[in-house]
Structure 1
């Protein structure tokens, strides 16, 4: 059994590697590592480093299971492969909030896709959303047969570098997009007030599509802020996290929260909204969950002026070591094993 990955936004650079550092591209690289010799579905056939790019019409359904990262496309993938006369094997990999899909046609199509094809979700919260949309938008005969599995994505723990505290505390904007769901204006309002009270440096590393946005321009005009492109390599990314003092999360919803967990494991003090998605990734009594922007500012002030004391409080909330608590629950080793097991369970060895 071989794997063919469908991620329409994947970009392969001239060096033969999947480029970009968005969450989807990161997950494609992870799947390629977990399933060596996989195919990446693309327009033009190409040999790459450790994998090949092939158009969908060149994917053999007798040999390949399609891991589809765009659930809207599962039915069209199935129809295209079924023309061979063989039974296609397709599974969804849902790694985004289904609540972000608002158009009724798209919601119904995703619901039908997740009812018809086995679906692997990137967290318990996402799996719950999948069940909810299937129950609401399909008929009971389909909904009751939906096969949904999940595991937390986890992170590459071996990438974490030793801490190197900066001379001026660094506050990270913990996302690469300035979309409405991330509430960047809330972040900007809080750090702007905080910058009047204490020295700090805000860093925002953004996807190129958001670098020229109005919000990015406004932030870059502050003399205490740096706005730039994503780091060139994963090594540079983890080196930057190693000197990050704190971050302020402002998103209304997250399917998992990969960027936040990476920053927390690197030793940054995380100030997060008191929302179910944040509580799902943190100890029950985590001390830096805010309900108002005033609370966010007060917590972030402590995070940049007393980071060591804040880390000790997080340790207490975790029952000893917050770093070890995170490592035990958010290692990508668990994800790797779980996705392999599910593929074998659904489609055979």
Structure 2
């Protein structure tokens, strides 16, 4: 297989390692584990811990496949790499929700990129959306040749820790941003009403830029809520999940839903909006789907007052072991196998 380089705008290297705990940085580290020694595209050349940071202009396209997570910019990446006369080898990795691109220029650029370059998506739902955008916004000659594959991102099951029930039920805000797509106001309204009915402790771990928002500051003043930064390590993250009773998902749309799967595998009871993205990661007949805020309140009250009964109900739903059902469908090993196979299939030479 050819040498690999990963391009993800905004990812930085600190003390020789990819820094940060957001989804982009986490996925870059994951790809580096899958492809040891893969370079990271960055603004200046440097040697890091086990990999090189290389400016795009210095990458040799004859020897390197560039996996770009900045999909809309892939044509510009191609132009830079093609300047020397060689044919660039570029692969798109769509790891986010396509609905974030609302401007016609953005959506057309996404369509063109995914029609021109082989594209791997983080879920069947995302792959389907990508294919629909390509066929809607590019000419048939390009759309019919599009190469699109996918696998559920999955989670690293070896991180999961034994459960330890908290003295006061813990309700998690299952996101790291307070963006409108996540509908944080709905979360805040529901947990406020639930707290009036039964004791709960709300936990919200946010990216630094969102910690100083008005909503975060207002919630942090309540004695039944904790608002703070992201956990320092994945071990700390799973330690907290193992002590989480339930979470309330309020996002209008998701490409996959990694945070929710991680929390449910750790034993937290998920209360979800009745939307296609949620049904895509849950078994048929999942009982904790709500249509409005009132239903969300009732379901969350049950989750925090009768968690053992809720877990038993979920076990019966799938024939005995709900966590086992999740593990079998969201193991990151399948994602890594299919991603590596796609790279080898699309770029067999080298």
How high is the TM-score relative to the length of structure 2? 0.98
1:172 has 2:160 as partner: no
> Following the alignment from structure 2 to structure 1, what is the Cα–Cα distance between the partners of residues 205 and 282?
24
1:25 maps to which residue? 25
> Following the alignment from structure 2 to structure 1, what is the Cα–Cα distance between the partners of residues 336 and 91?
16
Stretch of structure 1 that moved more, 48-57 or 259-268: 48-57
1:260 maps to which residue? 260
1:193-204 to structure 2, matched below 5 A, reads 193-204=193-204
Q: Is the contact between residue 286 and residue 318 of structure 1 (CA under 8 Å) also seen in structure 2?
A: no
Q: Is the contact between residue 246 and residue 303 of structure 1 (CA under 8 Å) also seen in structure 2?
A: yes
> Following the alignment from structure 1 to structure 2, what is the Cα–Cα distance between the partners of residues 63 and 167?
57
SS in 2 for 1:270: strand
Shift of residue 209 of structure 1? Answer: 1.2
What's the Cα RMSD here? Answer: 0.8
1:279 maps to which residue? 279
How high is the TM-score relative to the length of structure 1? 0.98
2:99 maps to which residue? 99
Higher relative contact order (CA 8 A, sep 6+): 2
1:55 maps to which residue? 55
Shift of residue 170 of structure 1? Answer: 0.5
2:217 maps to which residue? 217
Give structure 1 stretches of 5+ with no counterpart.
Answer: none
SS in 2 for 1:196: helix
> Following the alignment from structure 1 to structure 2, what is the Cα–Cα distance between the partners of residues 317 and 28?
36
Q: Which runs of 4+ in 1 moved over 4 A?
A: none
Size of the aligned set, in residue pairs, is 348
> Following the alignment from structure 2 to structure 1, what is the Cα–Cα distance between the partners of residues 115 and 310?
45
Stretch of structure 1 that moved more, 52-61 or 324-333: 52-61
Instruction: Give deviations 1:245-278, integer Å, cap 9, x for gaps.
Output: 1000000000000000000000001101111000
Shift of residue 161 of structure 1? Answer: 0.4
Instruction: Give deviations 1:48-106, integer Å, cap 9, x for gaps.
Output: 12211110011111111110001111011111111122110001000111121011111
Shift of residue 18 of structure 1? Answer: 1.1
2:236 maps to which residue? 236
Give structure 2 stretches of 5+ with no counterpart.
Answer: none
2:298 maps to which residue? 298
